[in-house]
Structure 1
Amino acid sequence: MTRMHNPPHPGEVLREYLGDTTITEAAMKLGVNRVTLTRIVTGVSGISADMAYRLSAAFGTSAELWAGMQMQYDLWQAGKVKRPRIERMAA
């Protein structure tokens, strides 16, 4: 899989899916706390596997879509971190 260049946080995409629906209304429909959904939409928290399934049911998408967006975002962020030299190990 090719990594997207600087992918958006999935919360940004979710914000577009929500349209004019309020966070409070969406949170009730998803069966989650308003604060939980706010943290995702603002990019403070990521999308868990459970949330990916909730979003897939709510929007008729796949859980893999949401989980994949989160993974791409996480990999991009992790790739920016400076690490010590890692020695290769034999398999």
Structure 2
Amino acid sequence: MTKLIRNPNRAPTHPGIMLRDVIFPNLKEKHKITIQELASYLGVSRQVLHRIFKGEASISVNIALKLGKLCGNGEILWLNMQSKYDVYNAKQSIDLENIPTFAA
């Protein structure tokens, strides 16, 4: 059996990319859902959905709730993916070197 090892230095995948590349094709194949229908279920325009697909727009709490219901995998998965993506990118742009750490 092959063991997958995740590279801890690799940037997390934006949840919109996962939605575009994995989830939507599956929904389209199994349930014949169109882009317009997915956007409607999520309460966003097709343009906003395409921005999410490209990783240009975040998965909000409202969208995470709707995606979790639609996919049956819950909102926490989507929120965790977005959070990990956001934290990784913030760490790349914020200098924390001169901030001390104090014990509480």
Shared fold, TM over 0.5: yes
Q: Work out which of the residue numbers 33, 37, 48 in structure 2 matches 1:25.
A: 37
1:2-42 C-alpha deviation (Å, 9 max, x unpaired) = xx531111111111211134322211222322122111111
Question: 1 or 2 for the larger relative contact order (CA 8 Å, sep ≥6)?
Answer: 1
TM-score normalized with structure 2 length: 0.73
Q: Work out which of the residue numbers 70, 85, 88 in structure 2 matches 1:58.
A: 70
User: What is the number of residues matched between the two proteins?
Assistant: 89
2-side partners of 1:90 and 1:56: how far apart?
Answer: 37
* Gaps in structure 1 of 5+ consecutive residues: none
Structure 1 segments of 4 or more deviating over 4 A? none
Aligned partner of 2:11 in structure 1 is 6
Distance 1:87 1:64, change over 3 A: same
Larger Rg: 2
TM-score normalized with structure 1 length: 0.82
